[in-house]
Amino acid sequence: MESYGANIGATLLLRFMALSYNHRPSLRRYLYGVDGPLDLTIGVRTETGSVAQKIRFRDGKARVLGASHNDTDATLVFQDNSVIRQMLTAPPSELLLLLLKGRMRMEGNLGHLSLFNYLLSVLIDKTRLRPLPVPPKNGASSQARPVPNEPTPKSVAHRPPSQRVARLTTGRVDDVRWLDEPFLARYTLADFPRLARFLAEHFDTVPELCSERPLLLTRYFRQHGFEHDSQGHPHVPVLRQAQAVAHLLAHKVPIIRDGDLLAGTTTACPVGVVLYPDAHALMIWGELGSVSGRALNPYRVTQETAELLHHEVFPFWLHRSFREWVRHRHGQPLCQQLDERFAVYFSWKTVALSHTVPDFPRLLRLGTTGLTAEIDEELARLKGDDEKRHTLTAMRLSLEGLVAYARNLAAQARREAVKVASPERSAELVDIARLCEQVPQYPARTLHEALQSIWLGWIALHMENTNAGLSLGRLDQWLQPYFDADMALLATPAERTAYVQRAIELVGCFYLRCADHLPLVPDIGNYLFGGSSSDQAITLGGVTPDGKNGVNDMTYVLLKVTELLRLRDPNVNARHNLAHNSDDYLRRLCEVNLVTAATPSMHGDESVMRSLGQHGYAASEVRDWSATGCVEPTLSGSHMGHTGSTMFNLVAPLEMALDDGRHPLMRWSVGPRTGAPERGVLPTFEDFYAAYEAQLAFLTHQAVTYNNLLGEAHAQLRPTPLLSSLLRGPLRKGRDVTRGGAEHNTSGVACIGLADVVDSLQAIRILVYEQRICDFAELKAALRDDFVGHDVLLAHIERRVAKFGSGDQAALDLANRVARRVHDGFAARANFRGGKYTTGFWSMSNHVAFGGLTGALPSGRRAGKAFTPGLTPSPRATDNLLDNLRDVASLDPTSMDNNIAFNIKFMPAASTPDDDGHARAVDQMHAYVKTYFELGGMQMQLNVVSSAMLRDAMAHPECYRDLLVRISGYNAYFVTLNPEMQIELIERAEYQ
């Protein structure tokens, strides 16, 4: 009877939908794109088979079909009838939770499902497509939400970090040549009204879906063909892409923001969301009607944009994204099905292949003219070798597009210079025109030209590559020669002092330009990667390629800008080399972290370089490493490290080992049958550990397989000739970056939940095998019951099981053992580009998402709770920070060649804003960080916020919209995070 009801409900809904679309012209027009009718067939069914329905849209007509037809484009699969009933009655946001709790899943073409969702949303609330009111900015409109535990203190009682006034000063240190006081303590934001204005705009502007890129690209391909050219010959992918990118750049609207010192914008919106329909943009299709009103991180979307995307852009790409290419070519392989359940791994390659650092020094030194001359030389020498000829030609073409964009900007600046009323601004615009006439076509000569050149290169790269983890590299090293040149021309100390202020302003404009775009985050992404920006990493400090102190004037200028602006992105990473960099520098890093609350992320330079040592890179290249995306090291300018290729759940194989290969939340016996441990088939801990390794090896194989298939999809669908022209390797090899053209090729995996796995294995070893406090049957019963009614067992876990980070040697050894196993499993595999896999232990915010899809664990962690961020020890491990630091520093860097994220929430004992308190707080941080590095630590990131303040921010988001927090590898504004992530941050261990 019950199943009958659910089936009827689903049928009625689909019938109503078909009827409405067939009989209401205002709806029916949504069934057509510019190429004709939008055909799709969507199934709805339950796992139990109690419901099986289908709706088909064909030639502008809708029909509900019985279960017999077996040709759906996509299907929504529900766990059982109750979930269907929930779906029929719940608001869309709850649907997402069904997905995230594994109670519903999607099969088939996700673009078609997005389209179906959109048609459903149009049906339900057509009015939402009218011009949309500008939603209030992040958090400002949020209702006060329930906050865990304690009552909230009054927000006025808190002193936001920005209001700290005390600053340290120092004399000339490191390789500083010009700055008399490198900490630049005398400057505050008030000295830079231009930056203050841009910063206010950054927080006030609602990001908008920008139609410029998708429209130019789609129209270009519709005219010139994608698979075949107009004569019906198959396109050479790399040439096709170069022509499209050159077209895009030449036709992009040249915009110079009012008052800016740098020309050019990534999108045509003040703050734009860049859309990559060639990657994942279709995921927003279903939300076009609702995204402006969603609770977390809403986007503005004009009716015009929504219409263009629906009718013209998205239909073209239904079968042309990386994900769908793999589904079509390889018949929705198991590795893809696993990815689309979100529970065991998540592939970023469906979105991007852009975690790399371009060779900007070469662009600055040679200009595109010089780069093109090198290409021409190579072409002139070339005999045969079509691939090389095509690749080089494509590189050349895309560079021409870059120059065309710069010329358009120069012309625009000259036009505006004539029109503008203010003589000062007019002069600035004439300067900008001269800049864009010089760079990037010709070599940069000044700091201003260098920044403009990098910025234009950056925009152009984003027209080609998804804005996810593409990173800026060692800007202090690369900009210093231009700063030197500028300073050398100045005669008096007063002129030089004035120029330092100018340099801060220019770099500040550059940072704020980088913040002009956001990645596209569908609502599910708010839960998986909440609050993340594009993660444009900048790297500071460390050593020069020839091994000297790399901390220079520009390092301190960039740090000052980081401190003044407190932006989440660019994502500032600082290397500290114990042998070469000064203590003052490390103190300054700590001070900036204290003032900004969350940035920069700090790296132990020697240990990171040790982790890279295993790959046989030249010493000079290893010394030249940059953080990429979040924290991952790649060799600057020569290395496609795609360091964020896959987010991998280390806990899933543990759950599967406990259940004979079955994943509990997916209800899927997908792994190898390693035996049900409660039947006594795993008599020793080593037997259980072997079962874990077997499940781990299975999932590793699947993750690698999917990543490699997607690698092939990138090479076919979206080669990257512009990026190829800005990396070392493709010129010599004559091969595009997507096909392994870079000098060095690796794929980096982020392995999540190390501390949770180690603590769980410890619990099993100690309680089940050694002390025999319980057996597997009792343990599994407790896990099933989420420890409710198992207080005694939970108490044993708390008391008897020494956790990772507590200083216990056995736990530490086990952590090293698991990390080594994980690393070796991935390192044994080759990626599509012919390189190796690397492993890192950081999590973005996937420790929250994966945690949500994981049951209770033997470690005592309750069902659905977040894992620890990165490889941070559990707050339950110890209350002694020193043991935490020692244990993490004692992990072997060679297992962690894709770096780590180690989070500490730190409240200085003396956090008073007076001079003494400030200096004391910096000293304390410095002592912890320096010792951690001395002990071999790779990376750490400090959140200088109290739990009390975070609770207050949860209740009063409007008072905290610029509160910066470190998640795991990236920064976010706290108020942009979903509640689960906010709670995870609050519950992190807090040290004084």
Give me the helices (H) in 382-420, please.
386-419
CA pair distance 742, 728, nearest whole angstrom: 6
Positive or negative: CA dihedral 980, 983, 984, 985? positive
Complex with another protein: residue 250 or 935, whichever CB lies closer: 935
CA pair distance 156, 310, nearest whole angstrom: 46
Pick the closest to residue 820 from 746, 901, 751 (CA basis): 751
Among the residue ranges 17-25, 69-77, 918-926, 958-966, the one whose residues contact another protein (CB under 8 A): 918-926
Exactly one of 165, 882, 913, 915 binds another protein (CB under 8 A); that residue is: 882
The verdict on whether omega for the bond into residue 570 sits within 30 degrees of 0, i.e. cis, is yes
CA pair distance 67, 53, nearest whole angstrom: 6
How is 570-589 classified by DSSP, letter by letter? SEEEEEE-TTTS-HHHHHHH
Positive or negative: CA dihedral 79, 82, 83, 84? positive
Beta carbon of residue 888, minimum distance to another protein (angstroms, whole number):
14
Beta carbon of residue 178, minimum distance to another protein (angstroms, whole number):
30
Q: What's the DSSP call for residue 312?
A: I
Beta carbon of residue 768, minimum distance to another protein (angstroms, whole number):
16
Complex with another protein: residue 841 or 928, whichever CB lies closer: 928
Positive or negative: CA dihedral 104, 108, 114, 116? negative
Using CB under 8 A as the binding rule, the residues of this chain from 288 to 317 that contact another protein are none
Beta carbon of residue 767, minimum distance to another protein (angstroms, whole number):
11
Pick the closest to residue 277 from 107, 91, 33 (CA basis): 33
Complex with another protein: residue 377 or 879, whichever CB lies closer: 879
Among the residue ranges 200-208, 416-424, 445-453, 924-932, the one whose residues contact another protein (CB under 8 A): 924-932
Complex with another protein: residue 599 or 924, whichever CB lies closer: 924
Contact 671, 871 (CB under 8 A): no
Residue 610 neighbours by CB distance under 10 Å: 18
Complex with another protein: residue 431 or 778, whichever CB lies closer: 778
Give φ, ψ of 536 to 5 degrees: -90, 95
Distances (CA, A) of 469 to 542, 604, 627: 21, 21, 10
Give me the helices (H) in 493-626, please.
493-514, 523-528, 553-565, 583-596, 605-612, 619-622
Q: Using the rule CB under 8 A, is 927 a contact of another protein? A: yes
Contact 601, 798 (CB under 8 A): no
Q: Using the rule CB under 8 A, is 926 a contact of another protein? A: yes
CA pair distance 41, 74, nearest whole angstrom: 7
Among the residue ranges 726-734, 778-786, 865-873, 876-884, the one whose residues contact another protein (CB under 8 A): 876-884
Complex with another protein: residue 425 or 920, whichever CB lies closer: 920
Number of residues that bind another protein (CB under 8 A): 26
Beta carbon of residue 368, minimum distance to another protein (angstroms, whole number):
48
CA pair distance 466, 461, nearest whole angstrom: 9
Exactly one of 880, 913, 914, 915 binds another protein (CB under 8 A); that residue is: 880
Among the residue ranges 298-306, 413-421, 708-716, 875-883, the one whose residues contact another protein (CB under 8 A): 875-883
Exactly one of 81, 707, 895, 924 binds another protein (CB under 8 A); that residue is: 924
CA pair distance 339, 352, nearest whole angstrom: 15
Complex with another protein: residue 42 or 801, whichever CB lies closer: 801
Q: Using the rule CB under 8 A, is 168 a contact of another protein? A: no
Enumerate residues 6+ apart whose C-beta is below 8 A from 258.
none
**Residue carrying structure tokens 């259980």:** 688
Start-to-end C-alpha separation, the chain: 60
Using CB under 8 A as the binding rule, the residues of this chain from 791 to 830 that contact another protein are 791-792, 794-796, 798-799, 807
Exactly one of 168, 490, 881, 919 binds another protein (CB under 8 A); that residue is: 881
Complex with another protein: residue 620 or 880, whichever CB lies closer: 880
Contact 321, 349 (CB under 8 A): no
Beta carbon of residue 992, minimum distance to another protein (angstroms, whole number):
6
Q: Using the rule CB under 8 A, is 524 a contact of another protein? A: no
Among the residue ranges 29-37, 189-197, 300-308, 929-937, the one whose residues contact another protein (CB under 8 A): 929-937
Beta carbon of residue 625, minimum distance to another protein (angstroms, whole number):
25
Exactly one of 175, 229, 775, 883 binds another protein (CB under 8 A); that residue is: 883
The verdict on whether omega for the bond into residue 207 sits within 30 degrees of 0, i.e. cis, is no
Distances (CA, A) of 612 to 661, 730, 892, 898: 34, 22, 12, 9
Positive or negative: CA dihedral 235, 241, 246, 249? positive
651 burial type by CB count under 10 A (0-12 exposed, 13-18 middle, 19+ buried):
buried
Beta carbon of residue 100, minimum distance to another protein (angstroms, whole number):
32
Q: Using the rule CB under 8 A, is 462 a contact of another protein? A: no
Beta carbon of residue 851, minimum distance to another protein (angstroms, whole number):
25
Q: Using the rule CB under 8 A, is 909 a contact of another protein? A: yes
Q: Using the rule CB under 8 A, is 690 a contact of another protein? A: no
CA pair distance 618, 245, nearest whole angstrom: 34
Exactly one of 931, 958, 961, 979 binds another protein (CB under 8 A); that residue is: 931
Complex with another protein: residue 422 or 809, whichever CB lies closer: 809
Beta carbon of residue 882, minimum distance to another protein (angstroms, whole number):
5
Complex with another protein: residue 93 or 771, whichever CB lies closer: 771
Residue type, 367: G
Complex with another protein: residue 791 or 813, whichever CB lies closer: 791
Paired with 752 in beta bridges are 649
Complex with another protein: residue 684 or 771, whichever CB lies closer: 771
Using CB under 8 A as the binding rule, the residues of this chain from 934 to 963 that contact another protein are 934-935
Beta carbon of residue 796, minimum distance to another protein (angstroms, whole number):
5
Pick the closest to residue 896 from 850, 968, 844, 827 (CA basis): 827
Instruction: Write the binding mask 756 to 795 for another protein: x where contact by CB under 8 A, - elsewhere.
Output: -----------------------------------xx-xx
Whole-number CA gyration radius for the chain: 28
Residue type, 267: T
CA pair distance 185, 206, nearest whole angstrom: 33
The three-class DSSP label of residue 769 is: helix
Beta carbon of residue 446, minimum distance to another protein (angstroms, whole number):
41
Residue type, 441: Q
Complex with another protein: residue 524 or 935, whichever CB lies closer: 935
Paired with 104 in beta bridges are 78
Among the residue ranges 4-12, 334-342, 704-712, 878-886, the one whose residues contact another protein (CB under 8 A): 878-886
Beta carbon of residue 163, minimum distance to another protein (angstroms, whole number):
19
Complex with another protein: residue 411 or 881, whichever CB lies closer: 881
Among the residue ranges 33-41, 352-360, 686-694, 879-887, the one whose residues contact another protein (CB under 8 A): 879-887
Beta carbon of residue 991, minimum distance to another protein (angstroms, whole number):
8
Complex with another protein: residue 295 or 907, whichever CB lies closer: 907
The three-class DSSP label of residue 531 is: coil
Among the residue ranges 601-609, 624-632, 689-697, 928-936, the one whose residues contact another protein (CB under 8 A): 928-936
Hey, what are 942's tokens?
């400090």
Complex with another protein: residue 630 or 885, whichever CB lies closer: 885
Complex with another protein: residue 198 or 933, whichever CB lies closer: 933
Give φ, ψ of 276 to 5 degrees: -120, 85
**For binding to another protein (CB under 8 A), which residues are involved?**
791-792, 794-796, 798-799, 807, 880-883, 885-886, 909, 923-924, 926-928, 930-931, 934-935, 991-992
